[in-house]
C-alpha cells in the first residue's frame, strides 16, 4: 500500500483514541484484511470502494483494491480446479460406491 505518514493530534488530556490505527502504531494489515473479507463475501471493487468511503471515510482507488484482492486470486483458482475435479469424478464414478 506504500508509506503513509500519520499525524496524531495533540491532546493535552490524553483522551484521543484513534479507531483504525492505534497510537504510535507504524504498520497495519487491518484495512487490507477488511478489503479481502469484503471481496470474499462477494462485494465488487466498486462496492468495497463505496463502503470504505461511507463507513471509514477512507478514499481507496479501484487499482489499490484490485492489487489487494489479486493476492487471493491463486486461492480462488485452486478452488475452481478442485470443484471441476469433483464434478469430473462424480460424473465418472456415478453409481459406484467409492470408499
This prediction's pTM: 0.49
Q: What is the three-class DSSP state of 37?
A: helix
Quick check: is 98 in a domain?
no
Quick check: is 51 in a domain?
yes
Quick check: is 61 in a domain?
yes
Report the C-alpha gap between 42 and 86 in whole angstroms: 23
Report the C-alpha gap between 8 and 57 in whole angstroms: 17
* Rounded average pLDDT over 8-30: 71
Quick check: is 8 in a domain?
no
Within 8 A by CB and 6+ apart from 54, the residues are none
Residue 78 pLDDT level (bands cut at 50, 70, 90): low
**76: its cell numbers:** 480462488
29 alpha carbon, distance to own chain's centre: 10
How buried is 31 (Cβ within 10 angstroms: 0-12 exposed, 13-18 middle, 19+ buried)?
A: middle
Q: Does residue 53 have a pLDDT over 80?
A: yes
Of 3-12, 21-30, 42-51, 65-74, where does the model show the most confidence? 42-51
Quick check: is 11 in a domain?
no
Quick check: is 82 in a domain?
yes
Domain range enclosing 69 = 30-92
Quick check: is 45 in a domain?
yes
* Total number of domains constituting the chain: 1
Amino acid at each position: 500500500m506504500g508509506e503513509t505518514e500519520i499525524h496524531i493530534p495533540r491532546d493535552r488530556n490524553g483522551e484521543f483514541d484513534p479507531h483504525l490505527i492505534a497510537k504510535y502504531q507504524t504498520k497495519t494489515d487491518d484495512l487490507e484484511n477488511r478489503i479481502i473479507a469484503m471481496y470474499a463475501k462477494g462485494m465488487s471493487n466498486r462496492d468495497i470502494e463505496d463502503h470504505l468511503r461511507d463507513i471509514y471515510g477512507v478514499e481507496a482507488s479501484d487499482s489499490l483494491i484490485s492489487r489487494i484482492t489479486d493476492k487471493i486470486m491463486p486461492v480462488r483458482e485452486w478452488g475452481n480446479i478442485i470443484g471441476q475435479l469433483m464434478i469430473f469424478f462424480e460424473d465418472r464414478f456415478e453409481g459406484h460406491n467409492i470408499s
